[in-house]
Amino acid sequence: MVKNNPNVIITGTPGVGKTSHCELLAENTGLKHLSINQIVKERECHDGYDDELKTWIVDEDKLLDAIEDEVKQGGYIIDWHACDLFPRSWIDLVVVLRTDSTLLYDRLSARGYPQAKLDENMDAEIMQVLLDEARESYDEEIVVELRSDSADDIESNVERIESWLKQWRKDHAEDGEDER
């Protein structure tokens, strides 16, 4: 199946601005924002709720089965704190958002995260767990690390991703013409 639009993952520790990036990108590009947290709840792709961490226990197999037909068509911005479960063949760009630790701590505290969840997420950000996961799971040339400390960062990141998207579309339109 030839995709007319790419699939982009926007990933990073909770609180780095994934959803803000995804919503603005969807509005500006026409790609569809696929919030994995929402999919997990709505399509029941979980094995219950973890009361201590205040989060759903995701069943990754159910999740992948639930979104496979959509995502394979292309045109999605996948919004989630993990990326390594998505098959390489589905993904064209992986954007890992990073935030200053002090800012992130304040954002997560403001959300009322339980201490265990706050500590876990702070450790993940400081140790760049999600960036390493992305680099291990996908080809180096499709993994991009971007700062997300301010509203200005979000705007410039979205512009950069939009430029990448325009180039992707141009490259793939040319490929289609060459095949004819």
- Could you identify the residue written with the tokens 């993940």? 124
* Residue 34 bridge partners (DSSP): 78
Query: What are the backbone angles phi and psi of residue 7, rounded to the nearest 5°?
Result: -110, 130
Q: Is 30 annotated as a binding residue?
A: no
Name the nearest CA neighbour of 142 among 75, 74, 96. 96
14: how many CB neighbours lie within 10 A of its CB? Answer: 21
Q: Is 15 annotated as a binding residue?
A: yes
Give Cα separations from 155 to 18, 23, 168 (angstroms): 13, 12, 20
Q: Is 74 annotated as a binding residue?
A: no
Q: Is 3 annotated as a binding residue?
A: no
Q: Which strand (E) or helix (H) includes residue 93?
A: strand 93-98
Name the nearest CA neighbour of 45 among 16, 80, 21. 80
Q: How far is CA 33 from the centre of its chain?
A: 10
Q: Is 19 annotated as a binding residue?
A: yes
Q: Is 18 annotated as a binding residue?
A: yes
Question: Which residues participate in the annotated binding site for ATP?
Answer: 15, 17-20, 111
Question: Which residues participate in the annotated binding site?
Answer: 15, 17-20, 111
